[in-house]
Structure 1
Amino acid sequence: MASKFNGIEEEASRLESGVAASTNSTSSQARCSESFWSSPAVVTTAQKVVAELIGTYFVIFAGCGSVAVNKIYGQVTFPGVCVTWGLIVMVMVYTVRHVSGAHFNPAVTITSALLGRFPWKNVPLYIIAHLVGSILASGTLSLMFNVTKEAYFGTLPVGSNRQSFAIEIVISFLLMFVVSGVGTDSRAVGELGGIAIGMTIMLNVFVAGPISGASMNPARSIGPAIVKREYRGIWVYIFGPIIGTIAGGFAYNLIRFTNKPINELAKSSSFLKGKSGNGST
């Protein structure tokens, strides 16, 4: 009989230990989950992604909105469209650059990561934010205006695809070259960065707008294309800006000041990495 009671007590002890272990495990998991969502790194990344989404939304809303209004009502004029693009980019750069770097452009994000100025783990999050912001803005414009085929506010090659592809590479090169100079070089006057970037956008639209639409940004073209189901020449506006921005970013890094000899740069490849900051579009 005593051995039976001893067996019952041992079983009860094991059960209690199991319950305690289970409780401790659940409590530990809860603490881990709580610490994850309250982690400063997670909160900061979420803030950056939201800033990029909102920034991209208003860049596309204002820029593409000016295109739609001009085509429907004819009151903005082509110079007005160019100025609108430059102003909205400048405004949003000054608004969220200190939060997220103000990329608003998948090509800028990819180039910044390649040059070592942006963590690769955040690249997919930024690209998703850019695409979602562009799609939401395009959907808003589509609901607000009677956007016919003639009033399409996306980008389509006016001439050949190759012509638009070439000019997208050139103007995207210029944009990233300027961004690298005023946005990532510590010797530049940082307070004027937004103005320089906005002016570059405006000048590029003046030159390339009548030819390719002057996208310089895959998200700028993909959003309207998805909403209006217009995919003609879409590859031009995906690969052209990416190639141009990568080339522009690497070109600026070749002239970035350094006191290291050429043979040391060749060994370490440190000339591929910028000194500070995130790029902005």
Structure 2
Amino acid sequence: MDTAQRQQEGSAGLYGSRTGTNMAAAGAAELIGTAILVFGGTGVATAASLAQPVAGAGYDSLATPLAFGVALLAVVAAIGHVSGAHVNPAVTLGLAVTRKFPWKYVPVYVVAQLVGAILGALGTWVAFGAPGRDRAALASTVPAVGVGPLQALVVEAVVTFILVFVVISVATDDRVADAVAPIAVGAALTVGVFVAGPVTGGAVNPVRALGPMIVSGSFPSWWVYLVGPIVGGVVAAVIYDRFVRKADSP
């Protein structure tokens, strides 16, 4: 084992998690965390699409971005110390490319995330029944009318860049206070969904898009939501690692 490999194995992951110490627990945490994120976000998005009432009034356009952001905040606080709370292949791959996460564990995390997303989408189907799947497609993301594939891909890449840049900065740099991380990450996802929602549906995460697509059986522009977030996430991780991390605190 070379020095770089030893450093990878022995170094702390996101939010103080320890890479490789218990991959069964980490994989389970990623599965459960992604399921919570997808169920929480798509459940609210599906309810909004169906104009379901909430204590008398229907969901509005603010509900979905806030639901995804709050769900991610809760997940990071709950499992960040166990698995790093990646819950997003764009985060996992960004960390792997910058040698902050071992490549050999990437398949475990990505599979756990995809299975979790499918379970989260199934939960939304159970909650809202046939109308949720048939009329709302379980909140599957789809480019808005008039939005071409290239525009949608660029938007997904940009908003995922924002999310992953924030994740990498607050969760891997010991100059950032621990209590800030979950709030910052949840806020970054909220902003991303606010911006991208009217254009692409605001996946900001390949499995958030693919989980509902698989369960609903609808795959509109699926490759946009696979390629865009991964490119944005990897670029964000590289830029932070190569250029921003080196700056000293004032």
Q: Aligned partners of 1:42, 1:192: CA distance in 2, in Å?
A: 25
How far did residue 198 of structure 1 move?
Answer: 0.4
- The one-letter amino acid paired with 2:41 is G
How far did residue 43 of structure 1 move?
Answer: 7.3
What SS does structure 2 have at the residue aligned with 1:125? helix
Instruction: Decide whether aligned partners of structure 1 residues 227 and 56 sit closer, same or farther in structure 2, where only a CA change above 3 A counts.
Output: same
How far did residue 143 of structure 1 move?
Answer: 2.6
Higher-Rg member (1/2): 1
Query: Where do residues 187-266 of structure 1 align in structure 2 (5 Å cutoff)?
Result: 187-253=175-241, 254-257=243-246
TM-score scaled by length of structure 2: 0.84
Q: Aligned partners of 1:242, 1:154: CA distance in 2, in Å?
A: 18
Instruction: Report Cα offsets for 1:71-93 as digits up to 9, x if no partner.
Output: 11342211111111110000110
What SS does structure 2 have at the residue aligned with 1:190? coil
Query: Where do residues 1-281 of structure 1 align in structure 2 (5 Å cutoff)?
Result: 44-74=22-52, 75-145=58-128, 146-152=131-137, 153-158=139-144, 159-253=147-241, 254-257=243-246
- Contact between 2:98 and 2:238, CA under 8 Å: does it hold in 1? yes
- The one-letter amino acid paired with 2:240 is Y
- The one-letter amino acid paired with 1:82 is P
- The one-letter amino acid paired with 2:45 is V
Which structure's residues are more often helix, by fraction? 1
User: Any stretches of 5+ residues in structure 2 without a counterpart?
Assistant: 1-18, 53-57
Alignment identity in percent?
36
- Contact between 2:97 and 2:238, CA under 8 Å: does it hold in 1? no
TM-score scaled by length of structure 1: 0.75
Q: Aligned partners of 1:191, 1:116: CA distance in 2, in Å?
A: 25
How far did residue 96 of structure 1 move?
Answer: 0.3
Task: Report how many residues are paired.
Answer: 219
Q: Aligned partners of 2:234, 2:21: CA distance in 1, in Å?
A: 29
Instruction: Decide whether aligned partners of structure 1 residues 258 and 202 sit closer, same or farther in structure 2, where only a CA change above 3 A counts.
Output: closer
How far did residue 42 of structure 1 move?
Answer: 7.9
- Contact between 2:155 and 2:200, CA under 8 Å: does it hold in 1? yes
Q: Aligned partners of 1:177, 1:131: CA distance in 2, in Å?
A: 22
Instruction: Decide whether aligned partners of structure 1 residues 188 and 43 sit closer, same or farther in structure 2, where only a CA change above 3 A counts.
Output: closer
How far did residue 136 of structure 1 move?
Answer: 1.1
How far did residue 119 of structure 1 move?
Answer: 1.3
User: Any stretches of 5+ residues in structure 1 without a counterpart?
Assistant: 1-40, 260-281
- Contact between 2:65 and 2:191, CA under 8 Å: does it hold in 1? yes
- The one-letter amino acid paired with 1:46 is A
Over 3 Å off, 4+ runs: none
How far did residue 190 of structure 1 move?
Answer: 2.1
Q: Output the aligned Cα RMSD.
A: 1.6
Q: Aligned partners of 1:108, 1:236: CA distance in 2, in Å?
A: 17
- The one-letter amino acid paired with 2:78 is T
- The one-letter amino acid paired with 1:215 is A
Q: Aligned partners of 1:53, 1:150: CA distance in 2, in Å?
A: 27
- The one-letter amino acid paired with 2:136 is A
Instruction: Report Cα offsets for 1:167-190 as digits up to 9, x if no partner.
Output: 001111111111111111111122
Q: Aligned partners of 2:95, 2:20: CA distance in 1, in Å?
A: 21
How far did residue 148 of structure 1 move?
Answer: 4.8
